[in-house]
Amino acid sequence: MSISSRRPLLRLPSVPVQVNPHNSRPLATAGRIILVCACLAAVFALLCLVSISAGAGEIRFMNLLAHLFSMSLGTETTLDPAEETILFSIRLPRILLAASVGASLSLSGVVFQAILRNPLADPYILGISGGAALGAVIGILIGAGFVPLGIPGLAFLGALVAILLIFGVSESKSGHSGNTLLLTGVIINAFFSALIMFAVSLSSSDRLHSVLFWLMGDLSMAEGNEATLVGMAMLLGFLILFSLARPLNLLILGEETAMQLGVDAKRAKKILLATASLITAAAVSVSGTIGFIGLVIPHLLRLLLGADHRLLLPASALFGASFLVLADTIARTLMAPVELPVGVVTALCGAPYFLYLLHRRAF
């Protein structure tokens, strides 16, 4: 009797294997990363051109393209002085700020969701935005807007206080538990919201409009200096996060598994959380509390592209920038010349998706 014809002594039952849909995605090769990022960058550039040309003071799209072409050749401009003022003093700084804020919040959402292993985690829910909001409201009420970067500075300080409280309260001997960190952020965010409501109730009516617009997210007061600072913080944060993309991939499997594969899990986790928190603080300090970007964008791209952070981080930054530029364009053109807070537009898009995620996790 040949060996090949022998029957096994024990027949094991066939057990269906559950396959994670993220693992079935193509690997994040260098070519795939470049291709995806190039497509998203093209979408971002197109949205920027549309956003520049749209608004109460309309700049024709063809005139804008002709102006950009003449600038590249070093010839005379094709725009009149009023259009140049609108372009370079108002819309371009606002678009750059929206892009930097959207990219920062998306990057932070990627990190928080990965480390906490919870698709509901984002900077808004964790309470970092609440700390920045409290600092900004205090700055508005005491008249800090007359000081250069007065309100953004106080907002950044408030976000730092929130970060220290969240990580200080949630820290235990075994480190930071994901559920404990998330719950602590929600509680601290509620506490900051109560303080904000208390401060608003004592304020004069002439400042309530500024406070409410800031709380709902507002980019109408964008300046070149603010856009530059947030953009530099975002780029530096992206470089740090991207350099830790491989450890972040392994941390999804658990700290013990990551340590067995040669990753200093505690050190990497602290750097990732600190970097994500700081770029969130920088973004929220100048834009107000814009919610749901850090929740929707990372989760959506993770479903589409997979969970490899070598691709997910740059893709989330580009898509988050594009999304907020589009949302801000809608906010300032939908009811022109009246502007809506951009946070209203993002909430209308993000809140239904948040409820969908809750429903999915519950059932």
Domains of the chain: 93-362 (1.10.3470.10)
Q: What helix, strand, coil percent values describe the chain, rounded to 5? A: 75, 0, 25
Tokens, residue 237? 């944060």
- Give the pLDDT score at 57: 63
Angle value at C-alpha 244, between 176 and 284, nearest 5 degrees: 65
Q: Give the pLDDT confidence score for residue 16 in this predicted structure.
A: 34
Q: Lowest mean pLDDT: which of 183-187, 291-295, 351-355?
A: 351-355
Dist CA 137 CA 315 (whole Å): 33
* pLDDT one-digit tens code per residue, 123-146: 777 788 888 888 888 888 887 777
Does the structure show a pLDDT above 70 at 59?
no
Query: Which contiguous run of DSSP H or E holds residue 175?
Result: strand 175-176
Average pLDDT (279-294) is 85
CA 154 to each of CA 69, 157, 188, 192, 221: distance values in angstroms, whole numbers, following the listed order = 41, 5, 18, 14, 16
**118 membership: H or E segment, kind and range:** none
Record the tokens describing residue 85, joined without a space.
């003022």
* pLDDT over threshold 70, residue 174: no
Who contacts 16 (Cβ-Cβ below 8 Å, separation ≥6)? none
Q: Which amino acid is at 82?
A: A
- Model pTM above 0.75: yes
Q: pLDDT tens across 66-102, in order? A: 666 666 656 666 666 666 677 777 788 889 999 999 9
Neighbours of 39 (CB within 10 A): 12
Which residues lie closer than 8 Å to 39 by C-beta, 6 or more apart?
none
pLDDT tier for residue 21 given thresholds of 50, 70 and 90: very low
